[in-house]
Structure 1
Amino acid sequence: MPFRIGLSGLNAAAADLEVTGNNIANTATVGFKESRAEFADVFSQAYGGISKTAIGSGVRLAATTQQFSQGNIEYTENALDLAINGQGFFVLNDDGGRVYSRAGAFQINRDGYVVNTSGQRLQVYEPVDKGVTDTKFNTGQLTDLQLEFGDNAPASTEEVMATLNLVSDALPPADETGAAVTVVDVTNPDSYNYSTSVTIYDSLGTPRTMTMYFLKTGSGGPPADDIVSDPLKWKVYMELDGLTTGATTPGQEFDLEFDSNGQLVDPTGPLVPDFPIADYEPTNGATIGGIDPITGDPVPIQVDVSGLTQYGTQYSVSDLSQNGYTTGRLSGFDVDQTGVVFARYSNGQSGVLGKVALANFKNPQGLQQLGDNNWAETYAAGDPVFGDPGTSNLGLIQSGGLEASNVDIAEELVNLITAQRNYQANAKTITTADEVTQTIINI
């Protein structure tokens, strides 16, 4: 019996050494979770027997359980390196099957799918409106994440937002005769008080320059000293660069009126210049402006001038922006902490390609280890619960980082020494039993 007890101790110590050695071997494995050998005593007793002097029969390996504590996040320069800061598992498509992992070292295969080193595809929620940044997601179904490498389509400018100040005590400029200028000549800078430009885009992404010329309303002269202004009134002329020879640009002049506090009172809505784009170079067949959602007809650009003021003695532009953009080349991908995957383009736009889905289990230690840093569902682990990163008890996504192994190398080295001593001690049990047996034989 002592031989069998000692042998069970040797087997247990050897298993402890193997578990510790496996932990040490995977110290640098991304997403690895250390294991712990758990032992139980062996107690043999006859059926129905009760004895206070019964002796145990040794030890056995009861379980090898993984410890799902958080590993340190090591930062990289790859946006597709993902780490989970908290609970949860990445969901991977393994040729139609589903496996789970904490290792987020992903890359792109030849078909544009995001995969790990084993070729398993990362699962995401598909956006309802692909390419739109404020889209919702179809959380009822998982799909493979596929990155798009095509150009981002251009968008025609539909609205220009102008916020600027005009000088309150300005006078109309004088022409060659000394009379007040009443019509802007865009080729003569002395025929207007102030101008500013903004780049707008047609429906094919071609940039075109729109210039706003401001002229103080007034009369008088010559001489120029006799020119008087309408204190609260201006004219604005809107011109698009590239007008072909002989063409005209009707409807580009608008009246502006301010109140005594410098606030714009007329017009009360946006200005609507109608640029006949067919008369402008390049004549590429594009349009400028929006599209009526009901009729499908083109709608001219709207210029929001509600931010215009007439204060003080300086011209200033606080904001002059528009909502169009040209064709964009793919410049990279980003993943935010909630798992939303964006494609970034050279035109400053971004498109949503999906949202990383995470899974969690009531008993992660019940998962079946598959190797390659993957786990499979089991009855003991419970059903997987899918959700968005950062919701419920799921962790957040760290892009450009990888979760390191949670192995504490110092602790494992101490465990090695302990397991070695246990092995030696159990071997000594067998040696002592052998000596006792030999003594009995020699009697």
Structure 2
Amino acid sequence: MSFYTSLNGLKNAQTELSVIANNLANAETTGFKKSRINFADIVAGTASTNPKLVKGIGSTVLSIDQNFTLGPIQQTGSSLDIAINGEGFFTKVNPVSGKTFYTRNGNFGMDGGGFVTDAQGSRLQVLPVDAAGNVTSTTPIDAQAPLTNGAGSDFVAVIVKTDGGIVASYADGSTSEIGKVALGGFVAPSGLLQVGGQDWQATGISGTAAYGQPGAARFGTILSGSLEGSNVDIAEEMVGLITAQRYFQANAKAIDTATQLSQTIVNLRT
């Protein structure tokens, strides 16, 4: 039995090392959120077992939780590099698959059609506004700047305001707000599914997204010309790496000891 107990420990230590290694590998990844592993003990017993004789038979991985604390803000100067100073997620929709993604990576640009997109072509979602810049609906739409305005002047550039308003400017000096950045919030963000590329998808655990504009309710404001860095603390992860290594070594030693005991029993002479 001790072999299997220690084997569980080895597997758990290996999983913990993998989680820490992934955190360290993404220490410089924009918008990355670190993970933490939680263990639970396993016991052998039933309702009729004497509680003083219940023994443990190892441990198992209970969960791998994500930590959504704010990462360091890095200034870039690019008008479509945006960061959320507080809670919330940027919302993106892939125009091909129609799938919705959520991210803290605010590295956006524009494509030839005037859509605000990420590096994979997914389109940033905004809340529609009226001529005065007031939000008219909480149903997000694609962020698209018309390539010409009503007077026929060509598009020049966009800026993003603190309240999330995306303003397009044109060659004749006019401006037009195309919407406010739609931020998504979740009851249980730890239940979001990681899909890679600093993107998450909603699940039954996380619940559906509730949308709002930056600065409203619990949502943070927008910092233009900035990106949110990874929230990985390298010093903390290195300490965790040493602890996980000792955990692995201790379980390996327990297996070695059990092997020696078994060998001693086999070698007994009657």
TM-score (norm 2): 0.93
Per the alignment, residue 144 of structure 2 pairs with 146
- Say if 2:213 is the partner of 1:392: no
* Partners of 1:345 and 1:121 in 2: CA distance: 22
* Contact 2:138 2:212 (C-alpha < 8 Å) held by counterparts: no
Cα offset for 1:47?
A: 5.0
1:273 corresponds to: none
Partner of 1:356: 181
CA deviation profile, 1:389-417 (whole Å, cap 9, x unmatched): 00100011111111101000111111111
| Residue 355 of structure 1: how far off its partner (Å) | 0.9
Residues 137/51 of structure 1: CA separation in 2 closer, same or farther (3 Å cut) = closer
Per the alignment, residue 116 of structure 2 pairs with 114
Asked if the contact 2:116–2:144 (Cα under 8 Å) also holds between the matched residues in 1, the reply is yes
Tell me if 1:44 matches 2:44: yes
Q: Comparing both structures, which one devotes a greater share of its residues to helix?
A: 2
**Aligned ranges for residues 260-339 of structure 1 at < 5 Å?**
330-339=155-164
Structure showing greater radius of gyration is: 1
Question: Residue 82 of structure 2 aligns with which residue?
Answer: 82
Question: Is 1:414 matched up with 2:242?
Answer: no
Deviation at 1:328, TM superposition (A): 5.8
SS at match of 1:418: helix
Question: Deviations for 1:40-88, whole angstroms, at most 9, x for unmatched residues?
Answer: 0111214532331322000111110100000111111211111111000
Q: Is the 8 A contact 1:152 1:330 kept in 2?
A: no
2:205 to 380, 394, 397: 380
Q: CA deviation at 1:338?
A: 0.7
Q: Is the 8 A contact 1:152 1:345 kept in 2?
A: no
Match in the other structure for 1:166: none
Q: Which residue does the alignment assign to 1:54? A: 54
SS of alignment partner, residue 52 of structure 1: helix
1:151 Cα offset (Å): 5.5
CA RMSD of aligned residues (A): 1.6
Deviation per CA, 1:85-112, whole angstroms, max 9, x where unpaired? Answer: 1000111112322221111111112222
Over the matched positions of the two proteins, sequence identity in percent amounts to 41
Letter matched to residue 59 of structure 1: S
SS of 1:422 mapped into structure 2: helix
- The DSSP-based 3-state class of the residue aligned with 2:140 is strand
Contact kept in structure 2, 1:31 and 1:403, CA below 8 Å: yes
Q: How does 1:176-255 map to 2 (within 5 A)?
A: none
User: TM-score, normalised to structure 1's length?
Assistant: 0.58
Query: Which ranges in structure 2 are unaligned for 5 or more consecutive residues?
Result: none
Taking the aligned partners of 1:80 and 1:32, their CA distance within structure 2 comes to 19
